[in-house]
């Protein structure tokens, strides 16, 4: 990454990349007096960083439980493609991944069938084989995902595929008939597991999203753009995508989370502003040169 900056003409020594554990360098750096600004991406570790950083300007992008609200007039082929892209690309390990689908009951069967057909085509295996679904990052992450699946299964969720795991490799799984009493309705698996909650009104979908402690992004699928804007206004997420999966987007777009999803905003302008401190010089002339009053 640093090499790319050098190729782009940045002087050597201006940008450094240091890797290491939180206990070795992370906590040292965020408390160091020479640090003027912190930008962090991660999960709920952001809370402790925020407390340790004290008065250092902070921009953090944290977890999300991005919802996909599907209304009766939606184009179901478009929705199914976006659910696959949004829920399973990078193995579901994106802050902005679709993590719960809230679909109107009357079209839920048709949508679930379309998504199941696409899930069956995802390739599973090692990254060297360029598979769609690859092992999650650690055993603890795989165990966490498995716990969410077991909890949902015990409470009555429908597993649309057979649950399969080998080491840290978890096969893609769609969980239908998820209900609010299941952990997976609220927690982010950060893996290839996607929940479907069937709803009977738009309000039910909006209320579920707004009850989440996260507020990163969500998406709404409908052909009625007026309705989409009304729903967008009601959503307590920092970004709402209409008829497309959540995504960071182009870099001149603002990118941010509210509630437990972050502080501040990224994007070219916002990042430059955040990393810039204003300085004021006031010249006091021997005689006042302005009109009083």
Ligand X SMILES: NC(=O)C1=CN([C@@H]2O[C@H](COP(=O)(O)OP(=O)(O)OC[C@H]3O[C@@H](n4cnc5c(N)ncnc54)[C@H](OP(=O)(O)O)[C@@H]3O)[C@@H](O)[C@H]2O)C=CC1
Ligand Y SMILES: O=C(O)[C@H](O)COP(=O)(O)O
Show which residues are catalytic: 61
**Contact flags string 202-221 toward ligand X, x per CB under 6 A:** --------------x-----
d(CA 197, CA 245): 17
Q: Select from 89-97, 126-134, 166-174, 181-189 the region that touches ligand Y (CB under 6 A).
A: 89-97
Please choose which of ligand X, ligand Y, none residue 247 contacts, taking the beta carbon within 5 to 8 angstroms, the exact cut-off set by kind: ligand Y
Among 194, 206, 231, 247, binds ligand Y (CB under 6 A): 247
Q: How is residue 263 annotated by DSSP?
A: E
- Contact string (CB under 6 A) for ligand X, positions 39-68, x = contact: --xxx-x---x-----------xxxx----
Q: Please name the residues in contact with 55: beta carbons below 8 A apart, sequence gap of 6 or more.
A: none
SS3 content of the chain, % helix, strand, coil (to 5): 35, 20, 45
Q: Are the C-beta atoms of residues 85 and 66 closer than 8 Å to each other?
A: no
Burial class (CB in 10 A: 0-12, 13-18, 19+), 282: exposed
* Sign, CA torsion 94/164/117/121: positive
Residue placing its CB nearer to ligand X in the complex, 114 or 248: 248
Under rule CB under 6 A, residue 99 binds ligand Y:
no
The distance of closest approach from Cβ of residue 139 to ligand Y in the complex, given in angstroms and rounded to an integer, is: 22
Residue from 50, 59, 82, 96 binding ligand Y (CB under 6 A): 96
Question: Judged by CB, which is closer to ligand Y: 177, or 239?
Answer: 239
Cβ neighbours for 110, distance < 8 A, ≥ 6 positions apart: 76
Query: By C-beta, is 152 or 216 nearer to ligand Y?
Result: 216
Burial of 26 (0-12, 13-18, 19+ CB in 10 A): middle
Of 184 and 219, which CB lies nearer to ligand Y in the complex structure?
219
- If one asks whether residue 168 binds ligand X (CB under 6 A), the answer comes out as no
Q: How far is CA 222 from the centre of its chain?
A: 22
Contact residues toward ligand X (CB under 6 A) are 21-22, 26-27, 30, 41-43, 45, 49, 61-64, 94-95, 188, 190, 216, 257, 262
């Amino acid at each position: 990454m640093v090499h790319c900056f050098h190729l782009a003409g940045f002087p050597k020594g201006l940008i450094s990349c240091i890797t290491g554990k939180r206990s070795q360098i992370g906590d040292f750096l965020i408390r160091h007096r020479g640090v003027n600004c912190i930008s962090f991406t991660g999960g709920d570790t952001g809370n402790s960083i925020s407390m340790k950083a004290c008065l250092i300007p902070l921009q953090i992008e944290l977890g999300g439980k991005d919802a996909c609200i599907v209304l009766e007039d939606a184009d179901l082929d478009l929705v199914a493609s976006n659910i696959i892209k949004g829920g399973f690309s990078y193995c579901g390990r994106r802050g902005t991944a679709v993590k719960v689908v809230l679909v109107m009951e009357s079209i839920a069967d048709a949508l679930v069938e379309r998504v199941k057909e696409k899930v069956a085509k995802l390739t599973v295996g090692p990254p060297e084989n360029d598979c769609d679904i690859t092992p999650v990052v650690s055993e603890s992450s795989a165990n966490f995902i498995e716990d969410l699946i077991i909890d949902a299964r015990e409470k009555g969720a429908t597993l649309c595929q057979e649950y399969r795991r080998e080491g840290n490799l978890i096969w893609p799984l769609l969980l239908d008939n998820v209900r609010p009493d299941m952990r997976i309705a609220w927690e982010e698996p950060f893996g290839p597991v996607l929940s479907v909650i069937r709803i009977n009104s738009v309000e039910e979908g909006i209320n579920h999203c707004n009850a989440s402690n996260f507020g990163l992004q969500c998406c709404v699928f409908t052909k009625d753009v007026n309705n989409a804007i009304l729903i967008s206004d009601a959503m307590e997420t920092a970004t709402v995508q209409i008829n497309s999966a959540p995504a960071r987007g182009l870099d001149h777009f603002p990118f941010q989370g509210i509630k437990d999803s972050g502080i501040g905003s990224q994007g070219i302008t916002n990042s430059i502003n955040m990393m810039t401190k204003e300085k004021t010089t006031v010249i006091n002339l021997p005689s006042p040169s302005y009109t009083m009053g």
